[in-house]
């Protein structure tokens, strides 16, 4: 696994009230959440970056209000329209 080195102010850990290990975990989680939200990572890869299972990652998505449905609005609209058309074709 590769590493990234991040510089931050000396008093940053105290400001966020976290140990160096907690801070590293939080930064990984925040990066994973944002990259997932922007559709740069799949949920599996984002969970891997965050160091947790997909189930745990989805729980974090809920906690931080990141939608687990990454559909562009146009794609979602097209799917809904197709579904409604399909429902209209079902005999009663």
Read off the pLDDT of residues 59-86 as tens digits, 9 standing for 90 and up: 999 999 998 887 667 777 787 788 888 8
Closest CA to 27 of 52, 6, 3, 11: 6
Instruction: Check if the beta carbon of residue 6 is closer than 8 Å to that of residue 27.
Output: yes
Query: Is 43 in contact with 53 (CB distance < 8 Å)?
Result: no
Residue 87 confidence (pLDDT) = 79
Of the chain, the end-to-end C-alpha distance in Å amounts to: 57
Per-residue model confidence as pLDDT tens digits over 34-66: 999 998 999 999 999 999 999 999 999 999 999
Q: What is the pTM of this model?
A: 0.74
Q: Whole-angstrom Cα distance, residue 69 to residue 75? A: 12
């Amino acid at each position: 696994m590769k590493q990234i080195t991040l510089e931050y102010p000396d008093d940053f850990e105290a400001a966020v009230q976290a140990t160096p290990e907690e801070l590293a975990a939080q930064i990984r989680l925040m990066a994973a959440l944002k990259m997932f939200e922007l559709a740069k990572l799949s949920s599996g890869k984002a969970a891997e970056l965050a160091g947790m299972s997909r189930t745990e990652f989805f729980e974090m998505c809920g906690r931080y209000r990141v939608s687990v449905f990454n559909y562009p609005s146009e794609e979602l609209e097209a799917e809904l329209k197709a579904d409604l058309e399909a429902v209209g074709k079902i005999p009663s």
